[in-house]
Amino acid sequence: MKFNKQLFSACFLFAAAFAPTEAAEPVPEEFGSCTVCHGVQLKGNPGTGAPRLSGLQTWYVENQLESFRMGWRGNHSADYTAEEMRAVASGLSAKQLKKAPSYVNETVSSLSFTHTDGDVDKGKALFASCSACHGATGGGNEALAAPSLLVQSDWYLEKQINDFRNGLRGAEKDDASGQLMAASVATLKTDDDINNLMAYIVHLQQQEMK
Amino acid sequence: MTGVSRRNFLNLVGAIGGSVALYNSSRAMGLIAETGPVSNYQIKPADKGAKKIVILGGGVAGLSVAYELQMAGYECTILEASHRIGGRNLTVRHGDLVDELGNANICKFDDEPNLYFNAGPARIPGHHQRLLGYCKKFKVPLQIKANANRLAYIHETNLFGGKPVRAGEYIADARGFMSELLWKGGNQGAFDEMLTKEDVENLMGYSRFFGDLGLDGSYKGTGRSGSLNDRMLEHVKVKPTQDFTEVLKSRTGLMAALTSENYDWGEPLMEPVGGMDGVVNGFARNLDAKIILKAQVQGIHNKDDGVTITYQHKGKLHTLEADFCFNNIPAHFMPGIDNNLSPEYMAALSEFKRGNLFKIALQMKERFWENEGIYGGISFTDQAISQIWYPSHDINAEKGVILGSYSWNDDENEKFAQMSLEDRIKVAAQCGDKIHPNYSSYIESGVSVPWTRMNHMMGCGAHMEPEVQDKNFAILQKAEGRHFLIGDQISQHAGWQEGALASADNALRVFSDMRTQAA
Indicate whether B8 pLDDT > 60.
no
Indicate whether B70 pLDDT > 80.
yes
> Directed axis angle between helix B6-28 and helix B251-258, to 10°?
40
The CA–CA distances, whole Å, from B499 to A76, B22, B50, B439 equal: 35, 16, 27, 36
Q: Output the CA angle A72-A75-A79, nearest 5 degrees.
A: 120
Among chain A, residues having any CB pair with chain B shorter than 8 Å are: 1, 3, 5, 8-10, 12-13, 16, 18-23, 25-29, 32-33, 35-40, 43-48, 50, 77, 80, 83-84, 86-91
* pLDDT number for residue A116: 74
Number of Cβ within 10 Å of residue A189's Cβ equals 10
Chain A closest-CA separation from residue B321 CA (Å): 13
Annotate chain A with DSSP letters as a single string: ----HHHHHHHHHHHHTT-S----SPPPGGGTTHHHHH-GGG--BTTTTBPP-TT--HHHHHHHHHHHHHTSSS--TT-HHHHHHHHHHHT--HHHHHHHHHHHHH----------SS-HHHHHHHHHHHHHHH-TTS--BGGGTBPPSSSS-HHHHHHHHHHHHTTSSS-STT-HHHHHHHHHGGG--SHHHHHHHHHHHHHHHHHHH-
Q: Is B122 annotated as a binding residue?
A: yes
Q: Is B268 annotated as a binding residue?
A: no
Chain A closest-CA separation from residue B348 CA (Å): 8
- The architecture in CATH of the region B91-151+271-276+355-453 reads Alpha-Beta Complex (3.90)
Mean pLDDT across the stretch A26-32?
A: 92
Pick the CATH number of B167-249 from 1.20.1440.240, 3.40.50.880, 1.20.1250.20, 2.30.30.110: 1.20.1440.240
* pLDDT number for residue A113: 85
- pLDDT (tens digit, 9 = 90+) per residue, B362-407? 999 999 999 999 999 999 999 999 999 999 999 999 999 999 999 9
* pLDDT number for residue B12: 42
CB pair distance less than 8 Å for B101 and A21? no
Q: How far apart are CA A50 and CA A53, in angstroms?
A: 9
* pLDDT number for residue A22: 52
The CA–CA distances, whole Å, from A53 to A7, A64, A186, B406, B477 equal: 22, 11, 26, 35, 32
Which SS3 state, helix, strand or coil, does residue B76 take?
A: strand
Burial class (CB in 10 A: 0-12, 13-18, 19+), A174: exposed
* Cβ–Cβ < 8 Å for B66, B280: no
- pLDDT (tens digit, 9 = 90+) per residue, B83-120? 999 999 999 999 999 999 999 999 999 999 999 999 99
Q: Which residue has the higher pLDDT, B518 or B69?
A: B69
Residue percentage of chain B with pLDDT more than 70: 92
Provide the Cα torsion B281, B287, B291, B293; round to 10°: 0
* Cβ–Cβ < 8 Å for A50, A37: yes
**Greatest CA span in chain A, whole angstroms?**
46
* pLDDT number for residue A160: 96
Mean pLDDT across the stretch B476-482?
A: 96
* pLDDT number for residue B518: 84
CB pair distance less than 8 Å for B340 and A16? yes
- pLDDT (tens digit, 9 = 90+) per residue, B176-225? 999 999 999 999 999 999 999 999 999 999 999 999 999 999 999 999 99
CB pair distance less than 8 Å for B338 and A91? no
- pLDDT (tens digit, 9 = 90+) per residue, A74-118? 999 999 999 999 999 999 999 999 999 999 999 999 898 887 789
Query: Does the CB of B293 have a partner CB in chain A at under 8 Å?
Result: no
* pLDDT number for residue B19: 38
Indicate whether B10 pLDDT > 90.
no
* Cβ–Cβ < 8 Å for A101, A58: yes
Q: Which residues of B, range 314-333, sit inside 8 Å of A by Cβ?
A: 315-317, 331-333
Total count of residues recorded for chain B:
519
The CA–CA distances, whole Å, from B303 to A88, B299, B348 equal: 37, 13, 21
Number of Cβ within 10 Å of residue B194's Cβ equals 11
Indicate whether B49 pLDDT > 90.
no
DSSP code for B26: H
Indicate whether B55 pLDDT > 90.
yes
- Chain A residues in contact with B456 by the CB 8 A cut-off are 36
DSSP H helix total and E strand total for chain B: 14, 22
- Considering only CB atoms, B340 lies closest to which of A9, A20, A84, namely A20
* pLDDT number for residue B5: 46
* pLDDT number for residue A15: 42
Indicate whether B29 pLDDT > 60.
no
DSSP code for B42: P
Indicate whether B352 pLDDT > 90.
yes
CB pair distance less than 8 Å for A84 and B334? no
* Cβ–Cβ < 8 Å for B119, B450: no
CATH number of B52-86+279-352+464-518: 3.50.50.60
Q: Is B120 annotated as a binding residue?
A: yes
* pLDDT number for residue A137: 95
Averaged pLDDT of chain B: 92
Indicate whether B299 pLDDT > 50.
yes
Q: How far apart are CA A50 and CA A82, in angstroms?
A: 9
- Considering only CB atoms, A48 lies closest to which of B296, B299, B333, namely B333
- Considering only CB atoms, B102 lies closest to which of A21, A25, A91, namely A91
* Cβ–Cβ < 8 Å for B204, B222: no
* pLDDT number for residue A25: 83
The CA–CA distances, whole Å, from B329 to B300, B307, B386, B444, B482 equal: 11, 16, 30, 36, 16
β-bridge pairing B358-364 and B400-406? antiparallel
- Considering only CB atoms, B336 lies closest to which of A10, A27, A45, namely A45
- Considering only CB atoms, B333 lies closest to which of A18, A45, A77, namely A45
Q: How far apart are CA A28 and CA B466, in angstroms?
A: 40
CB pair distance less than 8 Å for B103 and A91? yes
Q: Is B429 annotated as a binding residue?
A: no
Mean pLDDT across the stretch B24-53?
A: 66
What are the boundaries of each domain within chain B?
Answer: 1-34, 52-86+279-352+464-518, 91-151+271-276+355-453, 167-249
Give the range with max mean pLDDT: A114-128, B31-45, B183-197: B183-197
* Cβ–Cβ < 8 Å for B119, B100: no
Question: Positive or negative CA dihedral for B146, B150, B151, B153?
Answer: positive
CB pair distance less than 8 Å for B338 and A40? yes
Q: How far apart are CA A67 and CA A61, in angstroms?
A: 10
- pLDDT (tens digit, 9 = 90+) per residue, B319-330? 999 999 999 999
CATH of the domain at A48: 1.10.760.10
The CA–CA distances, whole Å, from A51 to A7, A56, B84 equal: 18, 11, 28
Q: Closest Cα to residue A106, out of A15, A201, A27?
A: A27
CB pair distance less than 8 Å for B102 and A88? yes
CB pairs under 8 A between A and B: 130
- pLDDT (tens digit, 9 = 90+) per residue, B498-510? 999 999 999 999 9
Whether omega for the bond prior to residue B113 falls within 30 degrees of 0, making it cis, is: no
* pLDDT number for residue B414: 95
Q: For residue B368, list its beta bridge partners.
A: none
Number of Cβ within 10 Å of residue A65's Cβ equals 21
CB pair distance less than 8 Å for A21 and B453? no
Which SS3 state, helix, strand or coil, does residue B182 take?
A: helix
CB pair distance less than 8 Å for A40 and B453? no
Query: What is the ipTM score, two decimals?
Result: 0.87
Which residue, among A1, A5, A108, would best test binding to B if mutated, counting the most B CBs under 10 Å from its CB?
A5
Which SS3 state, helix, strand or coil, does residue B10 take?
A: helix
- pLDDT (tens digit, 9 = 90+) per residue, A149-180? 999 999 999 999 999 999 999 999 888 999 99
Confidence class for position B357, pLDDT limits 50, 70, 90: very high
Q: Is B156 annotated as a binding residue?
A: no
Query: Does the CB of B456 have a partner CB in chain A at under 8 Å?
Result: yes
β-bridge pairing B338-339 and B400-406? unpaired
Structural domain harbouring A61: 5-209
Mean pLDDT across the stretch B31-48?
A: 68
Q: Exposure string (b/e) for B196-230, b if CB count within 10 Å is 16 or more?
A: eeeebeebbeebbeebbbeeebebebbebbbeeee
Residues in Cβ contact with B60 at an 8 Å cutoff, skipping those fewer than 6 apart: B86, B87, B89, B279, B280, B283, B488, B497, B500, B501
Burial class (CB in 10 A: 0-12, 13-18, 19+), B510: middle
β-bridge pairing B306-313 and B91-92? unpaired
CB pair distance less than 8 Å for A48 and B332? yes
* Cβ–Cβ < 8 Å for B359, B449: yes
* Cβ–Cβ < 8 Å for B356, B460: yes
Confidence class for position A7, pLDDT limits 50, 70, 90: very low
* pLDDT number for residue B349: 94
Provide the Cα torsion B292, B294, B297, B303; round to 10°: -10
Q: Closest Cα to residue B86, out of B237, B281, B341, B377?
A: B281
CB pair distance less than 8 Å for A32 and B312? yes
Instruction: Please count the structural domains in chain A.
Output: 1
Confidence class for position B39, pLDDT limits 50, 70, 90: low
Mean pLDDT across the stretch B125-148?
A: 97
Query: Does the CB of B298 have a partner CB in chain A at under 8 Å?
Result: yes
CB pair distance less than 8 Å for A87 and B103? yes
Q: Which residue of A has its CA nearest to B316?
A: A26
- What are the DSSP E strand ranges found in B223-274? 269-272
Number of Cβ within 10 Å of residue B158's Cβ equals 10
The CA–CA distances, whole Å, from B192 to B199, B321, B394 equal: 9, 74, 54
* Cβ–Cβ < 8 Å for B339, B299: yes
Query: Does the CB of B354 have a partner CB in chain A at under 8 Å?
Result: yes
Which SS3 state, helix, strand or coil, does residue B298 take?
A: strand
DSSP code for B274: T
- Chain A residues in contact with B414 by the CB 8 A cut-off are 77, 80, 83
